[in-house]
Amino acid sequence: MEVTGQPVIEPTRISHVDGENFSGRSAYLQSLIKSADDESSRLPSGVMVGSMTASYISGLAPTVADEIALHISGINGDYEHRLRQLLSDFSFERHSRENPFNLSGGEQALLIIICALLLEPKQLAIDTTLEQLNSTWRTPLLAALSDPVFYATNISIADNRFAEYSLKARTYRPHRHTTAGDENFSSIICPPDIPSATVAKNLVLDNLSFGYTKKQPLLQGMSYEFEAGSIYHISGMNGAGKSTFSKVLAGVLRPSSGNIYMGNSLYHAYRFPGKAVGYSFQNPDEQLFSNTIREEIIPKALLKANKNTAFAERVMSAFGLSRLAHKHPSEMPFVIRKRIALAATIANEREWYIFDEPTIGQDQRNIAETAKLIKLLAQNGKGIILVSHSEQFIASFEHVKTVALKNGGIN
């Protein structure tokens, strides 16, 4: 393809596909890609990336460098040049020899968007992938998308946090698209109160360190006091150690040195994993184990122990899942699976909760209700730790304390 003269920046080149959950945005994007596709051509015309990053990694490239090489279409050298420049700005070359599956979620999200662009498609659809990126990467990436270099690609973005991004785009609201089997899923509705039995004690870190190898500690000498009844936001770059930090607190990983205290008592998180700290993961599919939603949120162990299930029932109802209680979690769309995982974590009543990207894939209304629910938990004496790349979501909490992770320590 020859570039002659100055490329014209089409004001309609970038569009934001707006709407609530289940309003048909994903279906609209899929139809865009389908209509752009030319089966007879060997060049990709329409490419889509979504939130399940592992599905958009080819699975055929042993290294990140190979993954990038696989996607270089070579039609317009400017695309490749600009994108390599972007990767260099993000110091992404250090990952060149790594297996793409060893990258963190945010790193994978960046990789799949870059790779999709390298193909120089006529139409690119980004379905909530950007939500996984920290603003340090997201802002320059979005600025690059508007770059006239990419004049040949129309970009359609469905993103619940679009208002936070400073990106000029025209907005499109698809007509409601229903497929056979679609259900009317209720929104999250925070109840006026959720009575709970347990009140948290302060969580104190004393010189906590952790590393998978001795040479490269990920967390070094961390000391901090998390107060019960408060909401904390752990911030940091993609790959800075936020997930590792959360896993140490939840008792999944054993710290190499240091102690954790719950109130005045030493808390052996590693010996009793998941006992005092509940942890909700970014990807819900890794934490759904039961055949029905009811069983997932009110597990048999809870019933066997004859514990009061009122709290769990209220949580299930708040997340709009009571009506779906008999359904299999895996049959539900991603947004609902995310809610099930979140509800299961909260229902499993703990003193402290760590929520990793609790609002991913949720529209603004449900994000607001989730925030209300989290505030309610804090008001009832729970301790809350949030990991989120959404500044708007964090800003919705009036009294949130930010803990920045950098170079293995707390700022």
Partner 1 sequence: MEASGNNTYANKTLTLAFIPLAVGINLGIGSIVHVLKLPVYLDSIGTVIATLMLGWRVGAIVGVAGCIIISLTIIPPAVYFSGTQVCIALFTHLAGRSGGFRNVFRRVSTGIMLAIMATLVSAPVTYYLFGGITGNGISIFTIYLQSIGLTKGYAVLASGISAELIDKTAQCLIAFFILKSVPRFLLAHFHGGSLRENNLIG
Partner 2 sequence: MQANIHPYSRIFFLITGIAGGAFCTNNFLLLAFWLLVLLPLMMITGNGKAHFSFLLVVVLPMSAMLLFLSWIVWDKSTADFGNVLLTILKMIVYTTIVQVVLIIPSSQVYTTFKKWGMKGDMLVTSLGSYIVWVDIVNRSDKILTARFARGFIPARTFITRLKQLPHLLIPLIVGIIRTATERSESWQQKKVLYRIEVMKASEIKYNAFINAGMITAGAAWLLLNICLRWK
Point out which residues bind partner 2 (CB under 8 A). Answer: 33, 37, 41-44, 46-50, 52, 54-56, 58-63, 65-66, 69-72, 97, 99, 101-102, 116, 119, 247, 250-252, 272-275, 277-279, 281, 283, 285-289, 301, 330, 344-345, 348
Candidates 331, 401, 407, 411: give the one binding partner 1 (CB under 8 A).
331
CB nearer partner 2, residue 207 or residue 330: 330
Tokens 């809870």 correspond to what residue? 302
CB nearer partner 2, residue 99 or residue 135: 99
Amino acid at 223: S
Instruction: Show Cβ contacts of residue 95 under 8 Å, excluding neighbours closer than 6 positions.
Output: 64, 103, 107
DSSP label of 106? H
Q: Shortest distance, CB of residue 124 to partner 2, whole angstroms?
A: 10
Q: Which stretch binds partner 1 (CB under 8 A): 14-22, 253-261, 326-334, 379-387?
A: 326-334
Candidates 207, 308, 330, 411: give the one binding partner 1 (CB under 8 A).
330
Distances from the Cα of 86 to the Cα of 140, 203, 357, angstroms: 8, 40, 25
Query: Applying CB under 8 A, what is the total number of residues that bind partner 1?
Result: 7
328 binds partner 1 (CB under 8 A): yes
> Is the separation of the CB atoms in 1 and 41 below 8 Å?
no
CB nearer partner 1, residue 1 or residue 180: 180
Distances from the Cα of 223 to the Cα of 181, 242, 317, 410, angstroms: 51, 15, 38, 8
CA distance 329 to 291: 7
CB nearer partner 1, residue 123 or residue 366: 123
CB nearer partner 2, residue 207 or residue 291: 291
CA distance 287 to 278: 12
Per partner kind, with CB cut-offs from 5 to 8 A, the member of partner 1, partner 2, none near residue 97 is partner 2
Q: Shortest distance, CB of residue 93 to partner 1, whole angstroms?
A: 27
For the residues of 338-378, what is the DSSP string, one character each?
Answer: HHHHHHHHHHS--SEEEEESTTTT--HHHHHHHHHHHHHHH
Q: Shortest distance, CB of residue 356 to partner 1, whole angstroms?
A: 25
CA distance 199 to 153: 53
Amino acid at 234: I
Degrees to nearest 5, angle at CA 112 with 109 and 116? 140
Q: Shortest distance, CB of residue 7 to partner 1, whole angstroms?
A: 34
CB nearer partner 2, residue 27 or residue 252: 252
59 binds partner 1 (CB under 8 A): yes
Tokens 């959720």 correspond to what residue? 194
CA distance 137 to 200: 35
Q: Shortest distance, CB of residue 297 to partner 2, whole angstroms?
A: 11
Q: Shortest distance, CB of residue 73 to partner 1, whole angstroms?
A: 19
What is the footprint of partner 1 within residues 80-119 (CB under 8 A)? none
CB nearer partner 1, residue 20 or residue 37: 37
Q: Where are the alpha helices (DSSP H) in 105-241?
A: 105-118, 135-145
Candidates 88, 178, 291, 407: give the one binding partner 1 (CB under 8 A).
291
Distances from the Cα of 318 to the Cα of 185, 247, 305, 325, 330, angstroms: 13, 27, 24, 13, 20
Q: Shortest distance, CB of residue 121 to partner 2, whole angstroms?
A: 8
Q: Shortest distance, CB of residue 392 to partner 2, whole angstroms?
A: 27
Q: Which stretch binds partner 1 (CB under 8 A): 162-170, 200-208, 301-309, 325-333?
A: 325-333
CB nearer partner 1, residue 287 or residue 392: 287
Q: For residue 103, what are its two tokens?
A: 């990258």
By the criterion CB under 8 A, which residues form the site for partner 1? 39, 59, 181, 291, 328, 330-331
